[in-house]
Structure 1
Amino acid sequence: MDWKIELIFVPVTDVDRAKAFYVDALGFSADHDASPGDGVRFVQCTPPGSACSIAFGTGLTEMAPGSQNGIQVVVPDADAALARLEAAGVAAEGVLDLDWGRFVSFADPDGNRWTLQELPDHAAARRAAD
């Protein structure tokens, strides 16, 4: 049986500001924006190339805005990701080089923290060791 993570909730204070950040600044796809009932607004966005989306809105989660601190996304090139964030006006920290990857971190307007990881090329390391 496969278990697939397809949706992560990101708690925000201002839904329109969050949508502008994720869609306009980060380039996420705006998949859904609906108000299915009183006090509920559901916005779903997907990072480019991802099978997992994020959701935010009103009436969706008990988490405090800015409390999501564990979303990690794999990117092909940490330097390019940092340059893309900076070009979009997003304050980012990086590139941090570690044995298990290269990392860039940033926060959304509410303080929800994201980490972008460029995976190490294990095949190249094995070839170099041979």
Structure 2
Amino acid sequence: MNWTIEVICLPVTDVDRAKEFYGERLGFGVDFDTDQGGTRVVQVTPPGSGCSIAFGVGLVDENSAVLRATGGPPMRPGSAQGLQLVVGDLPAAHAELTGRGVAVSPIQVFGRDGELHPYREGEELDNVGFFFFSDPDGNGWAVQQISSRLA
């Protein structure tokens, strides 16, 4: 049996601001923006991804029917941390987001000591290279370079 992650829900304070950030600033495709009886859901998908990101009103907040059904607590805007995107070329992704006006950290590399250090030109990035950014609510993202995977 295959198990796939198809959608990750994010808590945000302003749906339109989040839609602009993810759709326009990051360049993610806007799959839909719908309002069903007071529950507004926007879903975006990063280019090439099989997993989408959803946010809205009534999705993961105190009005969420899903959270009531599962007994889960509401998520606070900015509380989603450790979200990760993977790209094949980290410097190109860094340049693209910087060019789109997204505040991103410098490229960093995890050393053998488990600590991050600033990237030095020509240094290996595959699997160990990262940069970081946050959305307008403070939800935290990492971007990692993986250009090949083990079988």
TM-score over 0.5 for the pair:
yes
Q: 1:1-130 counterparts in 2 under 5 A?
A: 1-38=1-38, 40-61=39-60, 62-98=74-110, 100-119=127-146
The count of residues paired between Structure 1 and Structure 2 equals 122
Q: Please say if residues 102 and 120 of structure 1, whose CA atoms lie closer than 8 Å, have aligned partners that are also in contact.
A: no
Identity %: 52
Amino acid across the alignment from 1:110: D
Q: TM-score, normalised by structure 1?
A: 0.88
**C-alpha distance in 2, partners of 1:58/1:26?**
21
**Which structure has greater strand proportion?**
1
- Provide structure 1 residue ranges, at least 5 long, that are not aligned to the other structure: 124-130
Q: Secondary structure at the match of 2:106?
A: strand
- Greater Cα offset, 99-108 or 58-67: 99-108
Q: Secondary structure at the match of 2:93?
A: helix
Q: Please say if residues 28 and 47 of structure 1, whose CA atoms lie closer than 8 Å, have aligned partners that are also in contact.
A: yes
**C-alpha distance in 1, partners of 2:13/2:103?**
19
Amino acid across the alignment from 2:6: E
After superposition, the CA RMSD in angstroms is 1.5
> CA distance change for structure 1 residues 42 and 101 in 2, over 3 Å: closer, same or farther?
same
Q: TM-score, normalised by structure 2?
A: 0.76
Query: Which stretches of structure 1, 4 residues or more, deviate above 6 A after TM superposition?
Result: none
Q: Secondary structure at the match of 1:94?
A: coil
